[in-house]
Structure 1
Amino acid sequence: MKKVLLKVLSLVVLLVLVSGCLQSQSAEKATMVVKDLAGREVAVPKNVERVVAAGPGALRIIVYLNATDIVVGVEDFEKQHPGGRPYIIAHPELKELPSIGPGGPGKLPDLEALIELKPDVIFMTYVDAKTAQDIQEKTGIPVVVLSYGELTSFEDEKLFESLELAGKILKKEDRAREVIDFIKSVQGNLLKRTENAESPSVYVGGLGYRGAHGIESTKAKYPPFVVLRAKNVADELGEGHKFIDKEKLLEWDPDYIFIDEGGLKLVLDDYRKNPEFYESLKAVKNGNVYGVLPYNYYSTNIGTAMADAYFIGKVLYPERFEDVDPAQKANEIYEFLVGRPVYEELARQFGGFKKIDLSTEEAENSLPTSP
């Protein structure tokens, strides 16, 4: 009788173990279908433990979601050009991860590297549906396309959808909501501060766009200006990034000029060649030229755009921003989004928030920016 009972118990234990194994395997293979920002339906694992992010700004979104611990590879661009992007400055450990390809605008990841690293999901930006599907079929790994949208202000539904989608896949829904609410709260605060404000005319030059550019590189509906209700002279050109003729800047002759410090070296080099052009501008003659941190650096630096807005607001509306210390506010923003207050490091690299005298500023002290 004891032998029979022992056999029955052994059989029960065996069945429990087998059942547990099968359930575990089933859980590992369980998937859910999501719709990415390219309109594709993608089956992704319900339990994601390994990811990579390729394309401008893709890794930034993963960092915002506090998911750096499951990133298993990064682009060479992140390793070789760590400056200018708060998310990689705050997480230097990411530079030590294996390579997934060169990175950079228009450059696709290395498929063999992806297959070798075996991520559960590949997050990508700035690729069309066909390219994403091709990578997915060749690697056998789900590819999810994310997007920053147009970003004429900080609130862009495509960006928010991307945060929510990545948050759902990574089980970071609460963090995604926190980030979205934070961005909305910053925008709301800036709009409230500048309600019924009379703005001088403004211009931003030196914006990065697939590389570094000089004073002629600008943006209509530049988000920091939009949320500050500032009169951007370039808005008459429509929307988005623009290259202007320098004669157009003379025609506009704005009250204030802000220079994205990613392109400051090129502006200073141009000043040395043609000081008469710059000295004929009202903003230069009146000492109303200011430096802001790089807005575009491997896609839009959302946190930097918000930090720049507080500094610009302090310049344009000093009474309404009397309580704001721009450097401190920048650190608050960076600490929330990327986990570290990195303003001082960015200021060391680019100059930080300051008034610029083109006749005395040293070009070699400003670092050129990448896309």
Structure 2
Amino acid sequence: MSIPLAQHRTKRIGRAVAVASIALLALSGCTANTTSNPAGGDAQGDASSTRTIIDHTGEEIEIPAEIDRVAVDQIPIASTYTAFFEGEAPYLVGMSQAVVDSLEGTVAADIAPELLEVETGYYDNGELNVESLLELDPDVVLYNASNAEHGELFEKAGIPAVGFKTQGDPAVTYTEWLRLLEDVFDEDGKMDEVIEYGAGIIADAREKNAQIPEADRKDVLEITGYKPGTLTVQGEPEFFGTFWLDTANADNAAIGAQQPLSEVSSEQLLQWDPDVILLSGYGHSGLLPEDVLGGLEGVDLSTMTAVQEGEVLSTRLGWWNWFTPNPDAPLVAHWIGAAVYPELADPEALDQLTREYYLEVYGYELSDEQLEHMYAGSYSAEVDR
């Protein structure tokens, strides 16, 4: 099941300081420029020199040639960032408190505990405070490319900001994030082997999941949010869950839900009556299978087929939330098929693949307890784990 890297990569200690010419994201088709400071000096070694890259907004962005302080705004990039640095999170000085809270208690805190130690004070009740961010003195901010308002705020404040796309197939998006990080840190091609390794695992998963005949495809409901009386689900328009259901060879039960994330009543949910319910965990619904099986305030799902048969599963696996773009996507591709179709499940093989993957990508050896925690509540009741 696993496709080993050409060589086993060890955990990198320290930082890469080479400042050389870089290859930009493939879709941009452009090259980077290095500019010396007005007073002169070597662009290779002068801390005030800059480089120009193209981010996912399609704009040219001037960033420092040497980056020592990184802040994050509105993108769940912590796992991708840590994979880029092979199990560490150097230079990261700020994220939102909500993200930090979500990472607590996950394997992320074990692999890179420094993720929990970053500054979070540049948000006021969840709203970005640029003045507070300026006090943090970041060299660059990594932000949601779809949020043009924040992009303008960073530009007006004179903060170099690189936009990362947050749409599309998450199994592809994480590779595009890795490529853009190559540009940001001027390390062209660093992620070639990781990306190739993951692509092979995903192809293997798709081939396995394709064994399910068309007539046996299951209807799956993805719950992404909850408040008393109302649930938010993955609707018909394209969103992260769309691609994962395609990978699983399953159908979206939420027929007629017109928004990517649609609020619906329990009456509507009962009409859909899905075969399987997937709960989008950390940072989204916050629900666990036992919450739904035990009864939710204002939402009665007790007569649903999935609830009665115990087919309510969590996606709060691995680092944070496996439905968002993240480097664990190759593992998601294998897990989701096994989650929806118990006949495809092989927990022992997936545990072994997960061990190998974390060692190769993060330089981290998972314990039995960590694996048990990662996959808790993520298999059908029919599967003996």
Structure 1 residue ranges without an equivalent (≥5): 1-20, 358-371
Cα distance in structure 2, aligned partners of 1:352 and 1:124 = 32
Query: CA RMSD for the aligned pairs?
Result: 3.9
- Structure 1's 348 and 58: CA in aligned 2 closer, same or farther, altered over 3 A? closer
Name the SS of the counterpart of 1:263 in structure 2.
Answer: coil
Cα distance in structure 2, aligned partners of 1:120 and 1:291 = 41
Structure 2 residue ranges without an equivalent (≥5): 1-39, 236-240
Name the SS of the counterpart of 1:353 in structure 2.
Answer: coil
- Structure 1's 103 and 223: CA in aligned 2 closer, same or farther, altered over 3 A? farther
**1:195 and 2:195 are equivalent in the alignment:** no
1:174 aligned partner: 189
Identity %: 21
Cα distance in structure 2, aligned partners of 1:306 and 1:348 = 19
Matched length: 326
Selected match of 1:293 from 307, 312, 315? 315
Name the SS of the counterpart of 1:225 in structure 2.
Answer: helix
- The offset of 1:288, in angstroms, is 4.7
1:184 aligned partner: 199
How do residues 19-98 of structure 1 correspond to structure 2 at under 5 angstroms?
A: 22-23=41-42, 27-66=46-85, 68-83=89-104, 86-98=107-119
**1:231 and 2:248 are equivalent in the alignment:** no
- The offset of 1:121, in angstroms, is 1.5
- The offset of 1:59, in angstroms, is 3.2
Name the SS of the counterpart of 1:29 in structure 2.
Answer: coil
2:337 aligned partner: 313
1:109-151 residue CA offsets vs partner (Å, 9 max, x unmatched): 5434x4344332221125533432322332x331111122233
Contact 2:280/2:316, CA 8 A, preserved across alignment:
yes
1:242-264 residue CA offsets vs partner (Å, 9 max, x unmatched): 33333333333333333445312
Contact 1:36/1:146, CA 8 A, preserved across alignment:
yes
TM-score (norm 1): 0.70
TM-score (norm 2): 0.68
Q: Which has the higher helix share?
A: 1
Contact 2:143/2:162, CA 8 A, preserved across alignment:
yes
Selected match of 1:145 from 163, 187, 203? 163
1:361 aligned partner: none
Contact 2:218/2:340, CA 8 A, preserved across alignment:
no
Name the SS of the counterpart of 1:23 in structure 2.
Answer: coil
Cα distance in structure 2, aligned partners of 1:271 and 1:42 = 47
- The offset of 1:193, in angstroms, is 0.9
